[in-house]
Amino acid sequence: MDIINYGRGVGPTIPELVGNVSQVLLMAQISYYTFPSTRGSAGMNSSTFLNVTQMANKHLCSPDSDIDGLAMIHGTSTLEETAFGVDLTLNCSKPFVVVGSMRPDTYYSPDGRAKFYQAVAAAVSPESRDRGGMIVLNDHISSIFYSTKTNTNTPDTFKAFEQGNMGSFLGGQPYYYWGKSYPVNRPYFDVTNTTILPSVITLFGHQGFDASLMFATVANGAEGLVIIGPGPGSISSSAAANAAILVKQGIPVIVAARTVTDAARRRLPVALLYADYVSGEQARIMLQLAINANYTMDKIHDLFEYKLHKTIFGNWANKVLYGIDGASIPGFSHL
């Protein structure tokens, strides 16, 4: 009955999974590669998704590749981080499917085998192309770009509350509710020659937040900061003042919402950068990739905010309502 320590044993290997779910061989020829990890997914870092995406771009996305899709098995604690990093750096439209298990193979009713079968089915399906990366869990398919882990133990843990599921599985096969499309504002970054990403530190905003930590992280080598702020990205006046100083020094500071869903959005006239619908852990990865790509501050602003702010503040009625003249507030002059 142990689902806390995951059986305290070693999980099944890919050959063992295939042996336990041999029906997958009716759908696909499978080749696999195992990346070493320390202390499960909590011990991973950005090099994990760099390794995965570079191998995937080489073998999956090359012009002469006969591989139909990629299924990545990952521990669920940081699954969304590795998945998000790969999703933003994978240079082809072939399916990229991520799957994990919430119940160990030693449990009375393990879920890994069914999810493994579904992940392979989604990865080889032509209907899975041109949709961006997907998370397959508990008979549902959701977008990596919008999904987050919502429960520590239940099988139905990865959800996109506002955006909903992309599809489900019927008879083990993927069924999509909508036609093919990519998430709004999903960027692409080339990491072909990248070996290490810039350091971006995430700080948790709360009552009594020590804003001096922002300077301490930069002094310790951080090239960017993400602050997870209460509500829609609220931060204290001292944190906002320190962020303004750091931005002038060329250190981008992104504010993400602490809530599970909805967007972090700017309160006028504060000239900080906000993460839109991107979560705090995703904002860190996106900012790492942007800094690595030598984005200017203006380009980073557009990366995170342009679509949302064009919607809110681009309309003439809202410009009058919010008192925007198009030039006095940084980041709004081109709306």
Query: Mean pLDDT for the chain?
Result: 87
Give Rg (Cα) of the chain: 21
What pLDDT does residue 150 have? 82
What's the pLDDT band for 328 if we cut at 50, 70, 90? low
What pLDDT does residue 139 have? 92
52-61, 238-247, 306-315: the lowest-pLDDT one: 306-315
Mean pLDDT in residue range 229-247: 88
pLDDT in tens, 36-51: 776 667 677 788 889 9
> Which CATH number is 6-176 given?
3.40.50.1170
How many other C-beta atoms lie within 10 A of the C-beta of residue 260? 11
> Which CATH number is 200-322 given?
3.40.50.40
pLDDT in tens, 256-282: 988 877 777 766 555 578 888 889 999
pTM, two decimal places:
0.90
- Tell me: pLDDT of 330 over 70: no
What does the H/E/C string look like for 25-62? HHCCCCCCCCCCCCCHHHHCCHHHHHHHHHHHHHHCCC
| Spans of all domains in the chain | 6-176, 200-322
Mean pLDDT in residue range 108-135: 93
Inter-residue contact 172 to 125 (CB < 8 Å): no
What pLDDT does residue 307 have? 83
Residue 276 DSSP one-character state = B
Fold match, 6-176 / 200-322: yes
- Tell me: pLDDT of 198 over 80: yes
